[in-house]
Structure 1
Amino acid sequence: MNLYLVNILLALVWAAITGAFTLSNIVFGFLLGALALYLIREQAGSLGYFRRGMRFISLAALFLYELVLSAWRVALLVLSPRMNLKPGIFAYPLKVERDLEITLLANMITLTPGTLSVDVSEDHKFLYIHAIDCSEPDALRRDIAQGFERRIMEAFR
């Protein structure tokens, strides 16, 4: 059985036992269930469960970091007296293959200020991205590949 489902069930059992189905109590039950699964990780085969959880946290932290950094860059661009920008659209070759991974990557790019996912090619090999400053598309491709895409592949595979 999927250990995420077991952990959710343990959280719901905790909420039922305590009689409080509040969000904080369910989250506490989830953490308690994760601790219980951690204690029996070798018997339950849950070694990968915790690694994957850390990879999801790493992906979320990277997204928040990139969000703040790109918001700062866009603010500096807008406030600068000379806007020496070269907006454009470039094709990004995808390494992720699953629809969920492509959607997550496209949404993370879109939610980051200064970039916007425009379209995915018919064969799901390229993601077309609009950048507010597309003067160095190779650097943008490298940043996406070494950042969001790498962390998405680590978290989902």
Structure 2
Amino acid sequence: MINIFVLNMALAVAWAALTGNITLSGLAVGFVLGSVCLYLTRSLYPGCDSYFRRAAKWTKLIVLFLRELVVSSLQVVWDVLTPTQKARPGIISVPLKVTREMDILLVTNLISLTPGTLSLDVTEDNSTLYIHAMFADDPDEIRRQITEGIERWVIEATE
């Protein structure tokens, strides 16, 4: 069976070489064009539908994280620039639904990359994550946002 990801990478490299633009942006354009071509010819590759479903889920994770990144950045910038500080920092425990270590690593890193939050520790049994939040007025709301947001997106992308 053909590995569709490897074929997509080969198409990206071929595109970059043919256009003479062997840069990260050239490879990215080639990867997107290769994905479109492979999608249009997917009937030639049995079993490739799972590749496109997984790619769609990872794309969703990236887009939703970028949206979350922009929203939280604006919230932090607003709090820093305005005279009245609304920040009420605190440490919050968040029960985890993810069980695999790679998924936990991804969740904790995405939380740490989001301005205003920082992953502090995970319990030995990987059931609870401790985070520091800049706006910890409502810990239950923060738990809900993490559980229904980043954690759910990671579960969908990695299942």
User: Tell me, which stretches of 5 or more residues in structure 1 are unaligned?
Assistant: none
Residue 130 of structure 2 aligns to a residue whose secondary structure is strand
Write out per-residue CA displacement over residues 97-123 of structure 1, whole angstroms, 9 at most, x where no aligned residue. 222221121111111111110011111
d(CA) in 1 for partners of 2:157 and 2:83?
41
Whole-Å separation in 1 of the counterparts to 2:62 and 2:11: 24
Quick one: which amino acid aligns to residue 116 of structure 1?
L
* Counterpart in the other structure of 1:39: 40
Provide structure 2 residue ranges, at least 5 long, that are not aligned to the other structure: none
Match for residue 156 of structure 1? 158
Counterpart amino acid of 1:146? E
* Corresponding residue for residue 4 of structure 1: 5
Name the CA shift for 1:2/1:126 in 2 (closer, same or farther; >3 Å). farther
> Offset at 1:19?
8.2
**Aligned pair partner of 1:135 in 121, 124, 137:** 137
Q: Does 1:112 align with 2:122?
A: no
Percent identity between the aligned chains?
46
Q: CA RMSD in A?
A: 2.2
1:77 and 1:32 map into 2 onto residues whose CA distance is: 42
Counterpart of 1:122, as a letter, is: E
Q: Which amino acid aligns with 1:59?
A: L
Between 76-85 and 119-128, report the one with greater CA deviation: 76-85
Partner of 2:64: 62
How far apart, in 1, do the equivalents of 2:137 and 2:39 lie? 48
Aligned-partner residue type, residue 137 of structure 1: P
Structure 1 residues 13 and 86: CA distance shift in structure 2, 3 A: closer
- Give the AA of the match of 1:150: R
TM-score by length of 2: 0.83
Amino acid at match of 1:72: L
How far is the alpha carbon of 1:76 from its aligned partner? 2.6
TM-score (norm 1): 0.84
User: 1:129 offset after TM fit, Å?
Assistant: 0.3
The aligned counterpart of 1:83 is 85
1:151 counterpart SS class: helix
Sort the Cα spacing of 1:38 and 1:144 in 2 relative to 1 into closer, same or farther, 3 A: same
